[in-house]
Structures are given as structure tokens and as C-alpha cells.
Structure 1
């Protein structure tokens, strides 16, 4: 009898192939987890930023109230005949000043004008201007050439009711108060109101 030698091929180990596939799947899962973590961090940062801005807006409103109270307490310096000319040292102007598209005086935006206050509990910079809503300096009138915006005036038949020839002892023009508050990280906010 003849002896045949049979050569057998070595078997490949299936465990080695499974290890490569498992490593590849683990890397994919790790990358997906990493992207989810980055998205979560961005979401938290955005939420913190929004909360900080809302807090600053609330603080600005309260500090604008300080400017309003200061403007009202110093009203004798610009009401009536005293307000017929500009008084830049107290942030008062007898006519509306040059403004941007939002109606904010450009000198206030540049911090070149306005009365400055300091908030009692913060380091925020508060500045404000008061503008008399009359087209020209001088006596305020309800008719041309210096027809002012008058508070609580009503229009009946093309004329304003009340004093037709000019302001009497009780009448006055309307005033626009614009407040600029600069807070932390150079955040700037403006508040504007009409006073009478």
C-alpha cells in the first residue's frame, strides 16, 4: 500500500476577524458619543449665555429707572424758559439731536455727550440725554415755526385743543429721555421714553 501524505492547510482563526470588526464598531460608537458630548456642551453654553443676557436686560431696566429719577429730580434746570437753550453739561438739548436709524442720539452712542451716573451696586456706566421735542431752540410754541410735540395734545379739526398761541404757565413740550447702560463685557443697552 502506498502512503499518501495529506497536507492540511492551517485554519484561520475567526476570533481575529471579529476583533477587528469589534474595534471598528467601538471607534464609531466613541466618535458618536464624542459628538453628542460636544453638542451638549454647546447647548449648555448657549443656555448660560441666554440666561446671562436676560439678567443683564433686567438689570439695565432697573438702572434706566435711576436715570429717569435723576432726570425728573433735575427737571427745574430744563423745564419752561430754562430749557430754551442747550445745556450739554447736564445732558439736555433744546432740540432733537442727530440720531441713528433706531432714534438713539449718535453723541450718546459715542459717549461724547450725556450726563453720567454710576449704579450703586454695580460698575455699570450709565449715561443719558434729554431732548426737548421742538424743531428749534427758543420759546416752545404749538404753532409754526417752533411747533413742539406737546404731551396729551389732541387733534380736533386740524388744530390742537388748549392754548393756541403758545405755552402758558402750565403747558410744556414733551421730552425724550435716552439712557445708555454699558455693563460687563462691554454689553451695551439703550432705553428710551417720552417724558412730559
Structure 2
């Protein structure tokens, strides 16, 4: 009978260890799911920002000469946190972000029934031109990059077999994204593009 009790205690301890391992695996899988979803939402925000610059309200050079808070755009480089390189306004509270007239996007997802469901995810993005002053692009006050662009003889930008390459200086735009998810999770993403 003592041997049976010892065997039962050993089996009970094994079952408890297995249960804890299962709980840890479930928690880890949940965290990986949160991380993946937040990355996907950040990619959606990045695409929205790029579309704004290419075909939206910021598609013309004249529109990018001055700040447009409703498009989450600053014509001058925003003050950045020294340790992360992220704009400090993006790191602050919802109140400070909206007080600067920037827009926080609430991301909704479609559930299994096809209805929209609140995911509890908030996405903020900022686009800031890497210049020290508003107005037309000034080589002395804007960070720019050299690129080789292929043109045909008519300067239309279309490809042709006998086209030539020309060097061009494009202005750098920084896109920063913050995603706030369930259970107080946060993710930050940043990219740069030249126009």
C-alpha cells in the first residue's frame, strides 16, 4: 500500500508538471498571435501612409510643403527620442497625440459571422519630412538621397531601350507606426522612403 501511495504521488506530480507546461505553451502561443496581429496592423498603417504620399492628400510636392495634421504629416522633422529614434509625440498618451490634431485609427476586424468586431487595437502613424523648415525643398535644410532614374528622351519617366540614366536628389520621409493592442501590448515600426 505504501508503494502504491508513492506511485500515486509521483503520477500526481507528473500530471501537475504537464498541466503547467500546457498552460505555458498556450500563453506563448497567445503572445505570438498578438505579436503577429500587431505586425499585420502596422503593415496596414504603413500602406495607408505610403498611399497618402503617393496617391492621396500628400501626393503633390506642394501639399507636402506644409504640415497637415489630419493626414498625420509634418513638413519638418519631429523631435525624436534619443534612445529609440521614434518621434516623442508618438510615444506619448492618446490625449497628447490628439491634442496635436493627429488621428488615431481604430482597427476593426471581421469576425466569423461577417460582422465587424472591435479588436481593441489602436494604430497611430506619423509621416515627417526630414527637413528643418517648411516650404519648398531646400537642399541646405532637407535630408536627401541620390538615386539613378532612367528616362527616355522625352523626360516622361517611361522605360525605353535607348533611355539614359540621370541622377536625382529625392527628399527622405520617415514613417513611424505605433500599435496598441490587447492587454497593454505595444509595437513600434519605422521606415523611410524618398520622393
Range into which the TM-score falls when normalised by the shorter chain: 0.5 to 0.7
Number of the residue aligned with 1:77: 57
Secondary structure of 2:192's aligned partner? strand
Aligned partner (choices 121, 125, 137) of residue 124 of structure 1: 121
Larger Cα Rg: Structure 1 or Structure 2? 1
Number of the residue aligned with 1:26: 5
Aligned partner (choices 71, 78, 82) of residue 97 of structure 1: 78
The two structures have a TM-score, normalised by structure 2, of: 0.65
Number of the residue aligned with 1:181: 179
Secondary structure of 2:85's aligned partner? coil
Following the alignment from structure 2 to structure 1, what is the Cα–Cα distance between the partners of residues 52 and 121?
Answer: 22
Structure 1 residues 147, 71: CA separation in 2 closer, same or farther (over 3 Å shift)?
Answer: closer
> What is the CA-CA distance between 1:128 and the residue it aligns to?
0.8
Of the two structures, which has the highest relative contact order with CA contacts closer than 8 Å and spacing of 6 or more?
2
Number of the residue aligned with 1:107: 89
After the TM superposition, which parts of structure 1 deviate over 4 Å for at least 4 consecutive aligned residues? 32-35
**Where do 5+ consecutive residues of structure 1 fail to align?**
1-18, 154-160, 164-170
Number of the residue aligned with 1:66: 44
Aligned residues: 159
**Where do 5+ consecutive residues of structure 2 fail to align?**
110-118, 149-165
Following the alignment from structure 2 to structure 1, what is the Cα–Cα distance between the partners of residues 12 and 120?
Answer: 40
The two structures have a TM-score, normalised by structure 1, of: 0.65
Secondary structure of 1:66's aligned partner? helix
Aligned partner (choices 17, 25, 49) of residue 27 of structure 2: 49
* Cα contact 1:94–1:137 (8 A) shared by 2: yes
Following the alignment from structure 2 to structure 1, what is the Cα–Cα distance between the partners of residues 167 and 138?
Answer: 12
Secondary structure of 1:180's aligned partner? strand
